[in-house]
Amino acid sequence: MGLDTYLYKQKQKSELEQVFDNLVGEKVEMAEVLYWRKNFNLLEWFRNNMCEIDNCGYHEVSKEIFEKLLEALDNGALEYEWDDDCEQINRDIDMITKILKEEDFKTTKFFFYNWW
């Protein structure tokens, strides 16, 4: 079984901008922020802390979920399964810390997506 998991971000536009974009056929693009390969522990963590995660479904990640995830990674409550776990965990801690410090959750949305 393969499992590819992504974290995307999407800038939110005003209602007027959204109406205009719909009229001209403009689509709001998502940017990839993080990628995980076969990280079943992470998928299970999101299931336990957010909702049932569907295959190929986008699930919004709130600021509170990022805070919980950072805490779980920091205190070892969430561990990854592979040899390069330490590098990935440190990468994820750095990125989540940056997101929490720099992003405005009123104008930017984050989505957890996976495909298996």
Q: What is the percentage of the chain residues whose pLDDT exceeds 70?
A: 93
Q: Which amino acid would we find at residue 45?
A: W
pLDDT at 77: 93
- Options 3.30.1380, 3.30.70, 3.40.50, 3.40.1310; CATH for 4-115 is 3.30.70
How far, in Å, CA of 115 to CA of 102, rounded? Answer: 28
- Report the predicted TM-score, pTM, of the whole model to 2 decimal places: 0.83
Kindly report, residue by residue over 17-70, the tens digit of the pLDDT: 767 667 777 676 889 999 998 898 999 999 999 877 778 789 999 999 999 999
Kindly report, residue by residue over 66-112, the tens digit of the pLDDT: 999 999 999 989 988 875 678 899 999 999 999 999 999 999 999 99
